[in-house]
Structure 1
Amino acid sequence: MPHVPDADWATIVEHVPLVSVDLLVRQAGGLVLGKRTNDPAQGEWFVPGGTVLKNESLTDTVDRVAREELDTTVTIESHCGTFEHFYETSDVAGVPTKHYVAQAYVVTPDAPVSAADDQHTDLRVAHPPLDDPHPYVQEYVEALDWD
C-alpha cells in the first residue's frame, strides 16, 4: 500500500468516516486490551484494531492487524457487528476529530498474546465486568457472549 501524503490523509480524516476492524481477542476467559500510546483514546485500554487499506478485504485486515499489533495469527470466530466510534480527538494535525465505522471480529489467537507493539505500552487480559472501561470497549463487552 503506497503511503498517503499527510495533507491528503488530513483531508480524508476531516471529511470521511474511516472503515476499520477491531479485534475482540478472546484469551484465558477474557478480552485482550492494549493501553494506547496515540490518539484517539490515548492512554485508554482498548482493543487492537486498524484502518482497512484500499483493496484489502476485511478478513485480510484482521490478519494484518493481528500480525502487526499482536505478533500472532488469529482464527476468526465470528463477526460481532458494525459499530460507530466518534472521537473528539485525532492524531492528525489540524483535524480535531475522528469518525470510524468499525467492523468488530471475535478472534482467538493461534499463540498466546503477550507483547505490546509501538501503539500500546502494555497488553492485558481483562475479565468482565471491566473496571471503568472506555465506552466503546464496554459496547463490545456487552455485545459478546461470555458463556
Structure 2
Amino acid sequence: MLPTETFKTIIASTPLVSIDLIVRNSQEQVLLGLRNNRPAKGYWFVPGGRIQKDERLEAAFQRLVKVELDTEAEFDKALFLGPYQHFYSDNFSGENFSTHYVVLGYELSLDIDLDTLPADQHQNYRWFTVDELLASEQVHQHTKDYFL
C-alpha cells in the first residue's frame, strides 16, 4: 500500500488502470453495490478495483473477484467488454483534484448470495435488471455505460 501523500500525487497526475466486474446472475440481473467511498460515493456501481504495479491482468482479475465478491472465477471464462474511460471531478481524499480511470470491463456469470459480500467498498448490494439500472438516477452513469 502506498503512503497517502504519494497516492494523492499519482491520482492528481496520471490515470489509474482498473478492472470493473459486470456480474450477471442466472436470471440475467446485474449485481450493483452502493458505494461507500469517493469517487461515486452514494451511487450504485459495479464492483471492481485498481490493477497494482507489476500485477498481471489475470492475477488482478482473480484478486479483485476475491476481494470484491468473496468468491473465485476463472479469467478465461469472463467476457472482455472492452476499455472504458471514467472521469470524476473528485477523488478519495476529498481534496480539489480529479480522478481518471482507464477501465477494463469484464462480464462474468455468478449466482452470489448478497449477504456474503464484503462491506468495505459498498454498504449494500442489489440485483438490478438492465432496464431498472438504466432508469435509475441512483445508478452512476459509468455503470450505465456498460449496457448502452
Q: Would you say same fold, with TM above 0.5?
A: yes
Query: Aligned pairs, how many?
Result: 139
- Deviation of the 1:108 alpha carbon: 2.0
Are residue 128 (structure 1) and residue 130 (structure 2) matched? Answer: yes
Cα distance in 2 for residues equivalent to 1:68 and 1:88: 26
- Deviation of the 1:95 alpha carbon: 4.6
Q: Cα gap change, 1:125/1:31 in structure 2, threshold over 3 Å: closer, same or farther?
A: same
Q: What is aligned with 1:54?
A: 53
TM-score normalized with structure 2 length: 0.87
CA RMSD of aligned residues (A): 1.5
Q: What is aligned with 2:106?
A: 105
Identity %: 34
**Is the 8 Å Cα contact of residues 38 and 94 (structure 2) preserved in structure 1?**
no
TM-score normalized with structure 1 length: 0.87
Please give the per-residue CA displacement for 1:46-80, whole angstroms capped at 9, x wherever unaligned: 00010000111222211111111111112432110
**Is the 8 Å Cα contact of residues 87 and 99 (structure 2) preserved in structure 1?**
yes
Q: What is aligned with 1:9?
A: 7
Moved more, 45-54 or 67-76: 67-76
3-state SS, counterpart of residue 126 of structure 2: strand
Q: What is aligned with 1:88?
A: 89
| Greater strand content | 1
Q: What is aligned with 2:144?
A: 138
Please give the per-residue CA displacement for 1:85-132, whole angstroms capped at 9, x wherever unaligned: 0001111253531000000001123x5241332111111111011232
| Greater helix content | 2
Q: What is aligned with 1:21?
A: 19
- Deviation of the 1:20 alpha carbon: 0.3
